[in-house]
Chains A and B, each alone.
Chain A
């Protein structure tokens, strides 16, 4: 790979490592310069560690195996009383590879935003007992869930996601209720495990990563400029 950006190298930095790095004086300024004050604030906060799926676009080949792995895990089938992975129909995948012309492929997946604009946009009043709206962050898995019984299908969450972040949240074409929030597969993301090219990893959420929270169009445009020196694109509409 030519023109390799170094964004994936950040993935090896954990929060603990970050704090340690900051504490080591000489390296502190370098790290702060790289991650900014926001990174420091986050590192020192008491918020739970959030995990997300991160794609290295330089390694991604656009093969869409991640879509099939996601779908198989999250849409299991029951055969003779046993729960088994499904057949991996990519239509049901939470991760989706967006392909453009010229050749740019951008797997797009929930950014696990710490500030959850999708949840904030949910107009359903918080439940008295759980304090949850219809859309909420699960306290154990830290992933975003929707309570279909309380969801009114207003699509506010999808709009918030589309205007402020990746646009991954997709309203169901019949019910309008949100889909495609990443489940992290219960802690063992199958897209990470099944990618034949090692292009996907499970990392801590950090909003100062390059391309963090951006929609596939913006990422594609940026990548195309670097790879092909062009901004002329097909697949943007």
Chain B
């Protein structure tokens, strides 16, 4: 116990090789400097991996589950868990280290992060490798590693039910991997409540490498706060800022699916493997159509007044229960990006991807790449194990998803992502292999959105649409993902002041806007230091040629394409403003001193 308010001051260390667990005190200075969530997770990663080039699938690589200081308090939308590890997907162009890769982080909503705090921890760090497939049960102080061979190969939809029943108490909150994670598909995800995921960056693959099928957590405690009265007053204001507002209702009505039509109309959607920014059939897979034909419930994460998640049911050939979706990312990556506009078919693909435990974004991106290569005759049907992978084909998409998760035939190669695929195929396919540092881009297209291109190339985990379109946004989001609060309510300006007040009242560390962003900057720079040490340089901050060469041919942004020299100029300015060397991207000493990272 650190005695610092707002925290337990304790990390739960679990070593699967030795089958042991222990509570470890967190240095109090780290709580002020790295907060929780993504930030504190990065500091733990930095401290545990003291040298570059460590194999991300080795027992040494920690898999870190982090709530933040908001987690476990009734703060609106304080539901997030940030999973942090060393990426099993990314790699630099050149490096001295065979297993060089970036940091990786992935956020999910739900109830897991708060429950970690109820159990008495500010985070869970898992290292080692179990001898056989296992799962962990944490019930306050009691930590058990149990053998779980009977769950081998189990898909997540069934597992979610079976596991809950096996635990015998529905108050347990669980995370788990599907067959894809067990099979070490690099872009495997970690699932929670069957429909929420830490999808990006290979979290499920690292979990699988540890022979860990699942974690269940339940707890009864809560940390104290520094200033109870101030917290309650700020909480009241935060609720007022969101409850019953048009803003909150808009999220409940359509969630992120609203943007499926919105971004198509704006020319910023991934369509036809990023060839276009507008999908003429977007309305068939958008929020209005889903509300009309699919959704039966609006679902919220812990204490969230937005309820952006949806569940529903479809009928017909592809019919069944839909745990979530379409959301913007899932709906676009498996919908417009593949020219699939059949709603039940789209939802079937989304459901199966979650069921197998794959990242929706990378999976949709990979299949889009293969569809284009197939259309262009760069690969034939034999290369695809007989799958007729035509644009818009739901059946072919479903067949490819199964192959990837099983690492069967073409699936083994496709599971390595578009960069590996394009290197194998050659014939100029690198141009439309839509990735940065080896991680596939998300559903935001950029021929008409240069700032989002900056987000993709400078993000710490490889192509990330959430990193932020400029330095201020990046710093802010790195910090936000360290608090446990979700990004979505923070577009509401009235939340800003009570959010800072709650954070200050909980932790006793005074956060104004400047301190909030400065802390985020420290976190972002620590990630940069890690990546730089692994060998990532400016040449790795590179977009595929498509965005500079293939102007949109349809839609309101027809003719749009990025200008290479303008983009490079923007990047040079970015590094300069960051206080990094614009040739190598190495953070300069002055910047590190300013952030207190010079002696780290």
Contacts and interface: CB of A to CB of B under 8 A. Distances in A.
Contact of A234 (B118, B162, B239, B305): B162
A198 to B, nearest CB: 8
- Chain B contact residues (Cβ within 8 angstroms of A): what range? 35 or more
Given A63-B301, A100-B170, A101-B193, A84 B228 contact: yes
A129 interface: no
B162 A196 contact: no
Contact of A87 (B219, B222, B297, B321): B222
B165 A2 contact: no
B304 interface: yes
A232 B195 CA distance: 17
Given A102-B321, A235-B170, A237-B165, A61 B307 contact: yes
Given A228-B321, A230-B321, A63 B296 contact: no
Nearest to B324: A103
Interface in A114-160: none
Interface residues of A, number: 41
Interface stretch (A32-40, A64-72, A179-187, A207-215): A64-72
A85 B243 CA distance: 20
B225 interface: yes
Contact of B295 (A2, A68, A98): A2
A1 interface: yes
Contacts of B266: none
A63 B303 contact: yes
Contact of A69 (B74, B165, B244, B313): B74
A68 B299 contact: no
A232 B303 CA distance: 27
A202 B242 CA distance: 23
B74 A72 contact: yes
Interface string B286-318: 000000000111111111110100010100000
B523 interface: no
Contacts of A84: 228-229, 232
B243 A196 contact: yes
A69 B323 CA distance: 28
A220 B242 CA distance: 29
B161 interface: yes
Given A98-B170, A102-B323, A196-B242, A68 B74 contact: yes
B248 interface: yes
Contacts of A90: 118
Nearest to B319: A229
What secondary structure prevails in chain A residues at the interface with B? loop
Contacts of A85: 232
Given A61-B299, A88-B73, A100-B170, A196 B305 contact: yes
Nearest to B231: A87
Contacts of B162: 234
Contacts of A236: 165
A84 B74 CA distance: 15
Most buried by A among B74, B170, B221, B313: B74
A13 B321 CA distance: 36
B168 interface: yes
A69 B301 CA distance: 16
19 contacts: A1-B297, A1-B298, A63-B307, A64-B302, A64-B303, A65-B74, A87-B225, A89-B222, A90-B118, A91-B221, A101-B193, A194-B239, A197-B300, A227-B311, A228-B313, A232-B161, A234-B165, A235-B161, A237-B165
Interface of A: 1-3, 61-65, 68-69, 72, 77, 79, 84-85, 87-91, 98-103, 105, 194, 196-198, 227-230, 232-237
**9 closest A-B pairs by CB:** A234-B161, A196-B305, A68-B74, A63-B300, A61-B300, A103-B311, A88-B74, A61-B307, A237-B165
Interface of B: 72-74, 76, 111, 118, 160-165, 168, 170, 193-195, 219-222, 224-225, 228-229, 231-232, 239, 242-244, 248, 252, 295-305, 307, 311, 313, 321, 323
